[in-house]
Every structure is written in C-alpha cells, then in structure tokens.
Amino acid sequence: MEAYFDNSATTRCYPQVAQIVVKTMTEDFGNPSSMHQKGVEAEKYIRDTKEILARILKVKEKEIFFTSGGTESNNLALFGAAQANARSGKHVITTAVEHAAVGQPMERLAQMGYEVTVLPVDRTGVVDMKALEEALRPDTILVSTMYVNNEVGAVMPVEKIGALVHEKSPKALYHVDAIQAFGKYTIHPKKTGIDLLSVSSHKLHGPKGVGFLYINEKAKIQPQILGGGQQDGMRSGTDNVPGIAGLGVAAQMVYDHLEENREHLYQLKEYLAEGLLKLDDVCLNGMGLREGAPQILSASFLGIRSEVLLHTLEDRGIYVSAGSACSSHKRKAAGTLAAMGMPVSQKESTLRFSFSEENTFEEIDYCLEVLREVVPVLRRYSRH
C-alpha cells in the first residue's frame, strides 16, 4: 500500500487539470500576445482563469497577476511594495516563522537599507499581536505575514492583523502569504484588509510553476520583471497559458467542494492524531486540532531523528516531510519550531503529515500500523 502525506509540499494534479494543460500545449498553443486567432484562443484561457480567481476572492479581474509560483509572488509583493513606497518610509515588519520566500527577501531589504522588524510568536506558532501593535509606526510601509504556517499549520489572525495595520500605519500595505491557505479557507482580501495576497497552484492540485499575486488596485507596486509589458507591465514575459489554465480548473474544483473537503481533512487529521497519541513519547505541535489548518499535523517522535523515521516510512510506501520541503532536499534547521521555543531534541524528531481530500482513513490505518511496529525498534536502536 502507498500513502502520500506530503501534500503541503505538493499535490497530485487533478486529471481535469492535466487534460487542459495538455490541450493548451498541443492544440490551443498560441501566444496570447499574438493578434491572430490562435492568440485570441490562448488569451481566453487567461481571461477565464482571472474571472474564476476574482470571483473566489471577490476582487476585480485586473487585480490578479500571474507569476511562476509562490516564491515569485512573494518577491514581487515585498520588493515591489518596498521600492514603490520608500518615500513614505523604510520600515517593514514580518514574523519569525515566515517561509524562506518571505524571510530571505526581508533579509535582502535589510541589506538595501530598510529597517526590518521580526515579530515573535507564541508556543503554538501564532504571531504576538501586542508586539505587532508596538512595532507599527507612521513610517511603516509594509507588513508581511503568512496565513497558514507550512510547518505546524498555525493560523494567523489575518483579519485582526489587517485591521491593526491599517489603523496604526495608514501608509502600510499588508501582504499575506496564502500559499498554504488558498483552497482551504474562504479568503476575501478587501473585507480582511489584505492588500497583497500570494498563491501557488501546485498546493491545490494545479500545475507546478504557476501562481498569482492579488494586488489591490490602490496599492503602489514596482514591477520586478521588465520586458514585453505583459499583464499591464506588472509582470513581463510570455504568459504560461497551460499553467494558468490548469490553475483555473484546480481553483474552481477546490472551491466548488471547499466545505466538504475541509471537513474531510479535519477528520483525517483528528484520526491520525488520536492514533499517534497512543504511541509512547509522541507529542503534537502547534494549535489545537480544529484551531490549526485542516491539512497539517506536526508530531514529534521523541528519541528518534526525523530523517531516520521519514526514510523508514518511505521504505513502506508512506511519504511524509521533516519540516518544509520547499527550499531543498537537504535538511535545514526548522525556523518555525525554533521560534516556538521548541527544544533541539524535539525539533530533530519532528515530522509533518499533510493531507489532501484524496487521502483515506485506510491510508492512516496503514500508517499507524507501520508506526506501531517501527517506532519502538528505532527508539531502542537510537539509544545504543
């Protein structure tokens, strides 16, 4: 049996997504910038996807800009906002648990002369709101937080953050990395006070290499990729029609079944958690099961190195992650776990299980059966 529990790293494309990707690569393959019929046909896929995304988010189609994925969306939001608004101030704020696609651009901004404030989080991975309130200033021009943490599934209070940012720092833009949240939650940026929103397609059964950035029409953003002037000059480069078309199909399918899928994910998470807690020396990390994101469960198997357990499970056809899989196949220190104040021994024994609606209870039963067998053996082995 095979059980894939690494859906926060990437998901399997829906068959309908694969079909439209093939169609736009082999039949409707025109360049959407071309004026002939083939170009018009290709451009329609882009318009259709914009319409789908705008309807889901309740925003305007002209506020959707396609990118190569979550990393580019984050970079465009952060560098674009910081550079376009530098005359109003050079103070930016983020948190200690951001993905590297936010954390490293923030480090670069600091090297460029911006003042970067990094906010602490509590033991569940949620940002300290009092620290945010104290950090906001008249010269704050940008605040960036994730919606859902990719390592432990902590959910940030984005609506409260958005309200506080706009109240205390009216010139500031609020950017949200929603890469683990889009497709799991109803997100309405204008109602929530979100000015910039990053999304990646392959986290919701769409193709890899495509995503989008929502940019509030009132936000000042400086383009980062110049060239042919596509997408109103905000993001030049020939549009990735197959990826964009696939993203549209995936987003529509996910949001057509949002509530039932989310409930299924919560039930899978609770079922696995119940089984894990019956094992000796296993603890769960992050928020309460229903408070945190439905698709992510972080667990520490004390006394066993995460890589050892990960590969033992892999040998049995069970695929999980030791932290985030987005940066490289090489294991790096888990920044989120450290920021949460987790001891080193616990960090080094932590696995992330992440689900999709395609997972089954039978797969979890199989996973628990294997864990009951291998955990005591690995723990004994590690002590010698």
Measured in whole angstroms, the distance separating CA 266 from the mean position of its chain's CA atoms is 18
Quote the DSSP letter at residue 290.
T
Indicate which residue of 13, 283, 326, 367 is catalytic: 326
One-letter amino acid of 95: T
End-to-end Cα separation, the chain, in angstroms: 31
Alpha helices in 88-239, H assignment, sequence order: 100-111, 129-135, 158-168, 189-192
8 A C-beta contact, residue 101 and residue 200? no
Which whole-number Å values give the CA distances from 333 to 148, 324, 350, in the listed order? 19, 10, 11
| Cα torsion through 198, 54, 52, 71, rounded to 10 | -10
8 A C-beta contact, residue 283 and residue 54? no
8 A C-beta contact, residue 188 and residue 58? yes
Query: Is 283 a known active-site residue?
Result: no
**Local structure of 62: helix, strand or coil:** helix
Report the C-alpha gap between 67 and 64 in whole angstroms: 10
> What's the Rg (C-alpha) of the chain?
21
Measured in whole angstroms, the distance separating CA 346 from the mean position of its chain's CA atoms is 24
Choose among 155, 145, 374: nearest CA to 282. 374
Tokens 């950090």 -> residue: 135
Active site (catalytic) residues: 326
